[in-house]
Chains A and B, each alone.
Chain A
Amino acid sequence: AQSVSQHNHHVILSEAASLELGCNYSYGGTVNLFWYVQYPGQHLQLLLKYFSGDPLVKGIKGFEAEFIKSKFSFNLRKPSVQWSDTAEYFCAVSGSGGSYIPTFGRGTSLIVHP
């Protein structure tokens, strides 16, 4: 069975600080990887995804994530956060064939102080 671990449950940063949120997964096959974001009071929406190709994936709002297969990791990064990035961030993994249903991590709550 696949699983996702997000190490940081709560992160507090000041504006302009750099961000890295950890995500490790467990799955015995080829994977698709996702980061979703949930802004306060809103629904989850896709931030970025990795299916294949370049392991460095760029998403919306300046976010990027790097797939490191040897480490089973898909960490999310942003060089300079803004107050508007305050949100909950979820990492998710699914099999690229067969077990297509994604498994979500517990989420990381990010608070950015202005």
Chain B
Amino acid sequence: DAGVIQSPRHEVTEMGQEVTLRCKPISGHDYLFWYRQTMMRGLELLIYFNNNVPIDDSGMPEDRFSAKMPNASFSTLKIQPSEPRDSAVYFCASSLYGQGIMFFGPGTRLTVL
């Protein structure tokens, strides 16, 4: 298996622009997570899905952030409009219920100028 795939790996954009991050989980995994990592706040859970359904989005910082999972093999995290404080590394992870083990993607390094 190729593991969790994320794109793009790097994104540089200007404040106010829309940003879309993409994730393909490991086939067969029924949980998908979006995390944000910064020096100041460490690793933050933004939202997670179970069987494509959003379960807990309490970690999403603002209404500017939204996430979707239209099918079992694809998820997006969108920021609109983006702000400089959104600059971070965004990780997607997937897991199989009962295993308790998270498989992380390589991350998207987002820079908002």
Interface residues of A (CB under 8 A from B): 32, 34, 36, 42-46, 49, 51, 90, 92, 94, 96, 100-102, 104-107
The answer to whether B100 and A43 have CB atoms under 8 Å apart is: no
Interface residues of B (CB under 8 A from A): 4, 42-43, 45, 48, 56, 91, 93, 97-98, 100-102, 104-107
What residues of B have a CB within 8 angstroms of the CB of A46 in the complex?
101-102
What residues of B have a CB within 8 angstroms of the CB of A101 in the complex?
45, 48, 56
Q: Looking at the complex, which one of B48, B97, B101, B106 makes contact with A43 (CB distance below 8 Å)? A: B106
New A-B contacts (12) at CB < 8 Å, excluding given A104-B42, A106-B42 = A34-B100, A34-B101, A36-B104, A43-B91, A49-B100, A49-B101, A94-B100, A100-B100, A104-B43, A104-B45, A106-B43, A107-B43
In whole angstroms, what is the CA distance A94 to B98 when docked? Answer: 11
Q: Looking at the complex, which one of A32, A36, A100, A106 makes contact with B97 (CB distance below 8 Å)? A: A100
Cross-chain pairs A/B with CB under 8 angstroms, 15 sampled: A32-B100, A34-B102, A36-B104, A42-B106, A43-B91, A43-B107, A44-B102, A45-B104, A46-B102, A51-B100, A100-B97, A101-B56, A104-B45, A105-B42, A106-B43
In whole angstroms, what is the CA distance A45 to B93 when docked? Answer: 10
Q: Looking at the complex, which one of A49, A90, A96 makes contact with B43 (CB distance below 8 Å)? A: A90
> What are the 3 tightest A-B residue pairs by CB atom distance, in nearest-first order?
A106-B42, A43-B104, A44-B104
Give the one of A34, A45, A96, A104 with max B CB within 10 A. A104
What residues of B have a CB within 8 angstroms of the CB of A42 in the complex?
106
Shortest Cβ gap from A110 to chain B (Å): 15
What residues of B have a CB within 8 angstroms of the CB of A104 in the complex?
42-43, 45
In whole angstroms, what is the CA distance A34 to B42 when docked? Answer: 17
Q: Looking at the complex, which one of B42, B102, B106, B107 makes contact with A102 (CB distance below 8 Å)? A: B102
